[in-house]
Amino acid sequence: MPNCLFCKIISKEIKSNTIYEDEKVVAFLDINPKAPTHILIVPKKHISTILEMEEKDKELIGHIYWVANNLAINNSINQEGFRVVLNCNKDAGQEVFHIHFHLLGGRKFSWPPG
């Protein structure tokens, strides 16, 4: 998708600290981390918000949670705990309109979220 920041990161037109990649997803460090561990897991397919997810994407979204689990273990945040967060549209604070799952850990989080 032209002019999509995360499509440009996926195609390596824009640099990122990529820590995992497979045929379906890329995971890289958030440029402005909100926790000691803050990784963005992004499908290579451009989907602008989770509302644009199609039925055929169900396996892809499940795969993202599988990758999140593995990255949580590899980054040693699995025992203490972590969050996987997806923001959708304005009130949730979505800024980049290519879906991405925030994997956050390394500190205690409050509940309910702010």
Give buried/exposed letters for 36-50 (b at 16+ CB in 10 A, else e): ebbbbbbbbbebeeb
Write down the least CB distance from residue 89 to ligand 5GP, Å: 10
How far apart CA 53 and CA 68 sit, in angstroms, is 19
Q: Which of residues 32-91 bind ligand 5GP (CB under 6 A)?
A: 32, 87
Could you tell me which residues are beta bridge partners of residue 39?
29, 103
> Among 7, 19, 53, 96, which residue sits at the site for ligand 5GP (rule: CB under 6 A)?
96
Taking CB under 6 A as the binding criterion, the range among 26-34, 47-55, 64-72, 104-112 that sits at the site for ligand 5GP is 26-34
How far apart CA 44 and CA 60 sit, in angstroms, is 10
Binding partner at 95 among ligand 5GP, Zn ion, none, C-beta below 5 to 8 Å by kind: ligand 5GP
Binding of Zn ion at residue 60 (CB under 5 A)? no
CA distances from 67 to 13, 21, 45, 93, 112 (A): 23, 10, 16, 24, 25
Q: Which residues bind ligand 5GP (CB under 6 A)?
A: 5, 16, 28-32, 87, 93-96
Q: Which residues bind Zn ion (CB under 5 A)?
A: 1, 4, 6-7, 46, 98
